Structures are given as C-alpha cells and as structure tokens.
Amino acid sequence: MYIINKQTNKLEPIEKTPFRAVGIRERKDLQEWIAKSPEVLGEGLLIIQKEFDGFNDTHERLDLLALDKQGNLVVIENKLDDSGRDVVWQVLKYASYCSRLDNQNIKDIFNQYLKATGKQESAEQLLEEFFNDEDYDEKLNKGNSQRIVMVSGEFRKEVTSTVLWLLNFGLRVQCFKASAYRLNDQLFFNIEQIIPMKDAEDYTISMANKNLDDLSTQEEMANRHIKRLEFWTQFLKEMSKITDICNNISPSKDGWIPVALGITGVSMSIVITQTYARVEVFINRGNKEENKKIYDYFLSRKTEIENEFGSPLLWERMDDKMTSRIKFQLDGVNAFEKEDWPKINVSLIDATIRMEKVFKKEIEGLRRILR
C-alpha cells in the first residue's frame, strides 16, 4: 500500500506490520471488526452467533456464524498473522456440524446472540427484514449449502492448495487475506479475497459446480417445483369446474399464481406454502405514498368489504415497507402434502371467488380517488 505525495508526485510506501506487533488481537479485534461490519467480506451477511460451541459431543467452538442472502449458513474462521496448517480440517468439521441445524435451531442460536449483545429485536423480526420475506423459513440451511470463509494475515501453501482442490467438488470456500498498515500513529486495515480470485469468482464457481448444479436442480424440481406444478394443475382444474376466473392461468412451479383485478399495481394472488395457504390483494404501484393511500381507502371501507366477503380479513398496512396487502389465510395446511389438497382447494376456491367479486367492485370507487 502506498500514499500519494502530491508535492513530490511520488508514491511513498506505507509500512505493513504484523497484527500482533501493533497490539491487534484475534478475538478482541479482528473477530469484533468482522462481527460489527460483515460487509467487509464483500456481501450482505447477517451475523447470528459468535464463539458458537453448541455442537453435540464436542467442545469445539467456531468464531462467527452468519447467514447469507440465500439462506446459507456461513462459517467464518479468523486467524491473525498465520492460518496454521490445520485450519481447513477445522472449518470442514464446523460446516459438517452446522449442516444439522434446522430452522428452529437457527432462530434459537440467533436469539441467544441478540440477548447476549443487548439487542431488543427478535431473531424472527431481523430475519424477515434481512431476507425481506416473511417466508424466509424455506431458505434456511437447505441441504449441503453451508459455506466456509477463512480470514488470515497469511495462508500456508498446504491450506491454499487444499482449498483450490475442494472448490472442484462444489464446496463453497473463500480465503480472505487481512493486513495491517502503519503510518506514523495511524493504523489501516485491508482485507481482500484471494481464493477464489474475486474477478474470476463467478467463473470458477460455475465451472466447478456445473455437474453438481445439474443434479441439484433436478432434485429441487423433484422435491419442490414438480410438487407445486402438480398442486396448481389439479387446483386450476377443480376451479374451472366452478368459475372461469383462472381459465387463462397456467400451472406454475412458483408458490403463487396471479389473478388480475383490472387495475395496475393492485392484484390478487393465490399463495401456497408448507404451513398455510391464502388469497391476498397485493398493493404495489411502485410508490409507497400511493400504495398507502390505496390501502387506507380500502381500510375506510373495511366494514362493507368484510360484510360482503362474509368473514374478517387480515389487514396489513406494513408501514415500514413499500407494499401493503389484505388477505384471507388458511393456517395449518401443507401444499406439499397431497392429503391436504382437498381442504386447500375448497377453502381457496371459495375465498378467491368472494375476494375477486368484492374487490372488483371496490376498484370502481378506487379509480375515482386515483384520478
């Protein structure tokens, strides 16, 4: 690292220094910096535990545990000036231990961390905000998706060689080189990804994982997409016997299908998950103020809407978000279990017909306030 001397038009080197030489410690400093600013690792990460030792039948302890935006657990292991020769074996063990954690385990671990650090928010609240998705449960720690991040001042050859070999088998391992620099009384910190090289990371990963991705995609289709296609196929068939509302809609591999209401930005969706099924009116015209104005108009007519619909609805203004919605929800059903399909069909078909009738009428009044 160099400083630019504008007066002499020269580059003057800034002294690189070992962390220990300037009093920087592994846990108190390096680990805390990453815990408080995980974005230094080049992506959005949510730290959910520090010094985690909650493994059965072992007293081992990993430095930091995080989640990425795809719901993968990220094991972060920090070494100060030297990686040591056994760090790869160490982090592989941690990743294998973490592969057993389910959704509730992850929430419990995160809640313990929040309590220990004096935070008032709940794990559920912060997870929903991080993923911007109330259905984030479906993403958490699926399959062998665990990732490994190693941070060190230097990496031994036996470590880098092993990591490069592991990449060929689809394991997601990254090495970050951390450095300290001193200029007079000032200290500077730098961290850079060295494996895989940042500029070639996407290419490296895509080539190494191609065959594994093909197999994973097939498994995903078998376990999720095909089940959704099967559900929507039979659902739309049953619905067509009663109404033509969804006659122009094709079965989908997604967890929802749309129903038009005749106005841009205000639409209906029929939604299925592993824990509930629902019909919702979703408001998103691309402008938060306008979305809330539309929601408030519907809310002012809540009594008339619910009377005509025939039962109470769930009203969610969601002041902290761009969108708003009004929904009917059937809890305690699993769209991936065929024995639940008849119950879901009856409830959702009936709710869709009633919801579409009510809100198509309400939209005539809505058009007047949008002019």
**pLDDT tens sequence across 297-353:** 999 999 999 999 999 999 999 999 999 999 999 999 999 999 999 999 999 999 999
Q: What is the CATH number of domain 220-370?
A: 3.30.1460
Q: What is the CATH number of domain 2-195?
A: 3.40.1350.10
Task: Say if CB 261 and CB 268 are below 8 A apart.
Answer: yes
* pTM of the shown model: 0.55
Query: Which residue ranges of the chain lie beneath pLDDT 70?
Result: 198-222, 371
Query: Cα(159)–Cα(178) distance, rounded to whole angstroms?
Result: 16
Query: Cα(304)–Cα(218) distance, rounded to whole angstroms?
Result: 48
Task: Say if CB 162 and CB 169 are below 8 A apart.
Answer: no
Going by C-alpha positions, the residue among 107, 103, 112, 140 that lies closest to residue 53 is: 112
Task: Say if CB 127 and CB 107 are below 8 A apart.
Answer: yes
CB atoms within 10 A of CB 209: 17
Domain layout of the chain by residue ranges:
2-195, 220-370
Burial 166-193 (b: 16+ CB within 10 A, else e): bbeebbbbbbbbbbbbeeeeeeeeeeeb
- The confidence score (pLDDT) of residue 135 equals 81
- The confidence score (pLDDT) of residue 173 equals 92
- The confidence score (pLDDT) of residue 204 equals 53
Angle (nearest 5°) at CA 201 between 217 and 70: 45
- The confidence score (pLDDT) of residue 367 equals 83
Angle (nearest 5°) at CA 174 between 172 and 180: 165
- The confidence score (pLDDT) of residue 29 equals 94
Query: Cα(363)–Cα(259) distance, rounded to whole angstroms?
Result: 14
Going by C-alpha positions, the residue among 195, 203, 177 that lies closest to residue 40 is: 177
- pLDDT per residue over 18-46, tens digit each? 999 999 999 999 999 999 999 999 999 99
- The confidence score (pLDDT) of residue 38 equals 93
Q: How far apart are the first and last CA of the chain?
A: 60
Task: Say if CB 266 and CB 363 are below 8 A apart.
Answer: yes
